Structure 1
Amino acid sequence: MIDKLEFFIALAKAQHFGRAAEDLGITQPTLSAAIKQLEDQLGVMLVKRGSRFQGLTPEGEQVLVWARRIAGDARAMREEMRAARHGLSGRIRIAAIPTALAMVPRLTTPFREKHPGVSFSVLSRTSIEVLSLLGNFDIDAGITYLDNEPLGNVVSVPLYSERYHLITAAGNPYSDRQKVTWAEVANLPLCLLTPDMQNRRIIDHHVGEAGGVARPTLESNSMIVLFSHIRTGKWSSIMPLNLAETFGFSEPIRAIPIVEPDASHLVGLVATRREPHTPLVAALLSEVMTLAGDFAAAR
């Protein structure tokens, strides 16, 4: 039955019999037959019938929750047995918010030194997408904000706090200041992340608290795009200092603390709350706790 449940999960994700079959590496008739057999075994209709995929029935939505849980448990069992035979191996899938991507090597590099049989897949996603992927078992862990918006039923490990700075070139407004207020930066033409990013919602919130409105002249979901515009010397942005430092701005670019308030938000790793975790996730959580201690000691 587990194979059929995994077929059903793939169909629910693809929302199309042909694409799901292609993803699974099987024929469409094989997939259709497996779904029909699963329906017969459970005694309920799972998929709305028609000439094409029309969605899941209410019973199908319920079964999907169970299917993800059962498939996740089966995967955990297989990983644990593989680890018992051959040591820790496999692929860890991580999704991180854009502002946290620069710190991911501080986690993946020492982890792989300890476990050379492990490889990684790292995606850049919004905080909402991180939690959705985690809930659907499409990733093993996420790196996101912990204290700003609801996380749901996850286990979390704090890593570091973001503190916000005006990143601007010498000669631009406020570039000669030792600090600047949120009310002042609200008056600047800025390049910022897009509104679907939690970092942007945090910035909008603090600017709004100061009585202003952020008016970016450029928006992007890519930190590379923002950094490349800042390097021209003609654009300013609001970024966490730890992120800006990783790109090694030259002397003409300044990072000026933003105060009133001196805001900070906690970033950390999240994983699905379950016992036991897969051996890979359990080892990752252990590594993150070590890394969190290193961050705390460095402050």
Structure 2
Amino acid sequence: MINKLEMFIAVAKEGHFGRAAESLGITQPTLSTGIKQLEEQLGVQLIFRGSRYGGLTPEGQRALVWARRLVSDSRTFREEMRVSRHGLSGHLRLAVIPTALTWAAKLSARFAARHPKVRFTILSRTSAEILKMLENLEVDAGLSYLDNEPLGRVTTAPLYTERYTLVCHADNPLALETEVTWADLAGERLCLLTPDMQNRRIINQCFMEADVTPDALVESNSTVVLAAHVEEGGWVTVLPAEMARFLASGKRFAIVPIAGGHVEHKVGLVAPYREPHTPVLEALLAEAADLAA
């Protein structure tokens, strides 16, 4: 039944039978047959469908909660058995906000040194996407903000506090300052992360409190794109200190602390709230606590 529940979860996530089948690496007829067999086993209709997907029935909505729980428990069970025989191994999937990617590398490198049989897939995503991916069992954990917007029922392990800095070219007059305020950035050629990023919402709030309307002439979901514009000259951006130092390495950049505003936010590991976690995820949470310490 577990494989049919996974099919059901995939259809609910994609909202489309064809895309769900593709995501699972199976044919659409195989998927449709699996869903029909699941409905027959449960004795209820789970999905409204005519010529196309029509959403979940009320019974389907309730079944989705149980399906996620059962599939997660099944994965935990398989992981427990594998660990008992082969030691800690497997595949960890992480979704990470763009400004925390350097910390994701620190965490995975330390973890891999202790547990060389564990593989990682690390994806850059928005904080909202991370929570959705955790809910849909698409990733095992995420690195995201812990104290700015609601997270729901999750397990967290704080890693660091994000502090914002101005990043500009060394030729920019602001590069000579030891500290700037948000008001000092009024009129500058800003390049910032896109509005769907929580980082951008935090920065916008800081500008608003300084009575400044940020006019970002360039927006991107990549911090590399922001750094590339700064390198071209004339552009400035706002980044967390850790990410700023990483991107500025070897370049004629100036990193200037920003005073004022709510410029400190906690970032850490976020995992689904459940007991027990898989042994691999439990070890990752412990590693995050050690790294933070």
Residue 36 of structure 2 corresponds to which residue in structure 1?
36
Q: Secondary structure at the match of 1:144?
A: strand
**Deviation for aligned residue 1:274:** 0.3
Find the aligned partners of 1:159 and 1:119 in 2 and give their Cα distance: 21
The answer to whether the Cα contact below 8 Å between 1:93 and 1:140 also exists between their aligned partners in 2 is yes
Residue 112 of structure 2 corresponds to which residue in structure 1?
112
Find the aligned partners of 2:170 and 2:153 in 1 and give their Cα distance: 46
Q: How many residues align?
A: 293
Residue 297 of structure 1 corresponds to which residue in structure 2?
none
Residue 223 of structure 1 corresponds to which residue in structure 2?
223
Residue 24 of structure 2 corresponds to which residue in structure 1?
24
Q: After the TM superposition, which of the residue ranges 37-46 and 143-152 deviates more from structure 2?
A: 37-46
Residues 200-228 of structure 1, C-alpha deviation per residue, up to 9 Å, x if partnerless? Answer: 00000001001111111111111111111
Q: Structure 1 residues 128 and 262, CA, compared in 2 at 3 Å: closer, same or farther?
A: closer
1:163 partner letter: R
Unmatched segments (≥5 aa) in structure 2: none
Residue 191 of structure 1 corresponds to which residue in structure 2?
191
1:19-98 mapped onto 2 (5 Å cutoff): 19-98=19-98
Residue 258 of structure 1 corresponds to which residue in structure 2?
258
**Deviation for aligned residue 1:282:** 0.5
Residue 137 of structure 2 corresponds to which residue in structure 1?
137
The answer to whether the Cα contact below 8 Å between 1:163 and 1:241 also exists between their aligned partners in 2 is yes
Residues 155-210 of structure 1, C-alpha deviation per residue, up to 9 Å, x if partnerless? Answer: 11111111111111233242221111111113322100000001100000001001
The answer to whether the Cα contact below 8 Å between 2:92 and 2:120 also exists between their aligned partners in 1 is yes
1:116 partner letter: P
RMSD: 1.5
**Deviation for aligned residue 1:32:** 2.0
Q: Percent of aligned pairs with the same residue?
A: 55
Find the aligned partners of 2:224 and 2:96 in 1 and give their Cα distance: 15
Q: After the TM superposition, which of the residue ranges 169-178 and 130-139 deviates more from structure 2?
A: 169-178
The answer to whether the Cα contact below 8 Å between 1:233 and 1:253 also exists between their aligned partners in 2 is no
Residues 97-154 of structure 1, C-alpha deviation per residue, up to 9 Å, x if partnerless? Answer: 0000112121111211111111000000001101111111111000011111111101
Q: Secondary structure at the match of 1:231?
A: helix
Residue 290 of structure 1 corresponds to which residue in structure 2?
290
The answer to whether the Cα contact below 8 Å between 1:163 and 1:262 also exists between their aligned partners in 2 is no
Residues 261-282 of structure 1, C-alpha deviation per residue, up to 9 Å, x if partnerless? Answer: 3721111110011000011110
Q: Secondary structure at the match of 1:119?
A: strand
User: Structure 2 length normalisation: TM-score?
Assistant: 0.95
The answer to whether the Cα contact below 8 Å between 1:147 and 1:265 also exists between their aligned partners in 2 is yes
Find the aligned partners of 1:229 and 1:22 in 2 and give their Cα distance: 37
Q: After the TM superposition, which of the residue ranges 31-40 and 65-74 deviates more from structure 2?
A: 31-40
The answer to whether the Cα contact below 8 Å between 1:135 and 1:272 also exists between their aligned partners in 2 is yes
Unmatched segments (≥5 aa) in structure 1: 294-299
Q: Secondary structure at the match of 2:47?
A: coil
Residue 12 of structure 2 corresponds to which residue in structure 1?
12
1:169 partner letter: H
1:284 partner letter: L
Residue 296 of structure 1 corresponds to which residue in structure 2?
none
Residue 169 of structure 1 corresponds to which residue in structure 2?
169
Find the aligned partners of 1:245 and 1:153 in 2 and give their Cα distance: 33
The answer to whether the Cα contact below 8 Å between 2:206 and 2:262 also exists between their aligned partners in 1 is no
The answer to whether the Cα contact below 8 Å between 1:180 and 1:258 also exists between their aligned partners in 2 is yes
**Deviation for aligned residue 1:256:** 0.9
**Deviation for aligned residue 1:59:** 1.4
Residue 237 of structure 2 corresponds to which residue in structure 1?
237
1:156 partner letter: T
